[in-house]
Amino acid sequence: MKVRQIAIHIAVLVLGGAAQAEAAPRIGVPPPLADCPTQKVCVWDAPAWRGQATIADDVDACVDRHIRSAKNDASYGGRIGTYLLIWKAPGCHGERDAVIFGGESEPLIDAESYSVRGEV
């Protein structure tokens, strides 16, 4: 009998703690800044979309540039739409760091080159 009462008290405490965690304000990365135009692909040389955005509009070209965050606001369109490929090394060689599809963004990247594929 006492074991059952203890189990019930533990369950109430655990569920109560979970509800408090959900109600707490979320502290995290802010949404991308408004300096990336709608329906465009942008990269930043600072994390969390800070500073001036560079519009990535050279389709199928490799661009060497230090990238710390990115946003793809381009439409999906076609089979997979417009996507941004990001490489850790210059020249779009070696290990890819990320693939960012339409509607996605990435606040923390450490890469040296990118290429936009699809229609911009």
Pairing assessment for the beta strands 105-106 and 111-117 based on DSSP bridges: unpaired
Q: Which residue positions in the chain have pLDDT lower than 50?
A: 18-26
pLDDT in tens, 32-53: 555 788 889 999 999 999 988 9
Q: What is the pLDDT of residue 35?
A: 76
| Assigned token pair, 5 | 């009462």
Residue 44's DSSP bridge partners are 69
Give me the domains of the chain, ranges plus CATH numbers: 41-117 (2.60.20.30)
Q: What angle do CA 61, 66, 69 make, to 5 degrees?
A: 95
| Assigned token pair, 111 | 């890469």
